[in-house]
Amino acid sequence: MRFSDLDLNKTYSYADYLKWQFDERIELIKGKIFHMIPAPNTIHQRVSGAVFTELYTYLKKMPCSVFSAPFDVRLPKKSLEDNTVYTVVQPDICVICDPLKVDKKGCIGAPDIVVEILSPGNNRKELKNKFEVYEEAGVKEYWIIHPNEQTFLKYSLTKEGKFNAERLLTIGDEITSSILPGFVLNLDEVFINQ
């Protein structure tokens, strides 16, 4: 099967996704196919590497794990069965503190932290569609990094299950996380050498 053979109006599950063997990278959001942009550019990769390295170093002695794309995150609504999971995303980076959520296929359930790095062409998907599914799934923190604007925005999940945006951060600011006590990421280190 080729990507062009798929009916983009149809609703697909993770079971369908597992059968596909084409070169294009895709994500499923509420059963709909979203074509991923080609390989991320150099700036995206540098920012991703800087954030991943800091998280990995911090988490070495913690029960949480950090993963980077490509890594399937399945967000089930009711059942964990592959044919009933309609959202499968590949965040740039995610932190998972519950080891039971990690299996040989990736993550099943909401990661504690999801990091998405904006690239030309993916802003709408990240800012609207993924925002909705991450909030519905119960992701505790959703970090959005805009390399070109050199900004960082964190949404934290409230007790009511809704994301609350914190202050927009940029060069000179530091990122902290209630999920990771003592973790500090200086944005100068993230955006320098772009």
Those residues whose C-beta lies under 8 Å from the C-beta of residue 175, and which sit 6 or more positions away, are 143, 152, 154, 169, 183, 184, 185, 186, 187
Q: Which pLDDT score is estimated for 124?
A: 67
Q: What is the CATH number of domain 40-191?
A: 3.90.1570.10
Q: What is the dihedral of CA 150, 24, 88, 139, to 10 degrees?
A: -10
User: 5 in helix, strand or coil?
Assistant: helix
Q: Which pLDDT score is estimated for 39?
A: 58
What does the domain layout of the chain look like in residue ranges? 40-191
Question: What digits encode the pLDDT tens for the residues 44-97?
Answer: 889 999 999 999 999 998 889 999 999 999 999 988 889 999 999 999 999 999
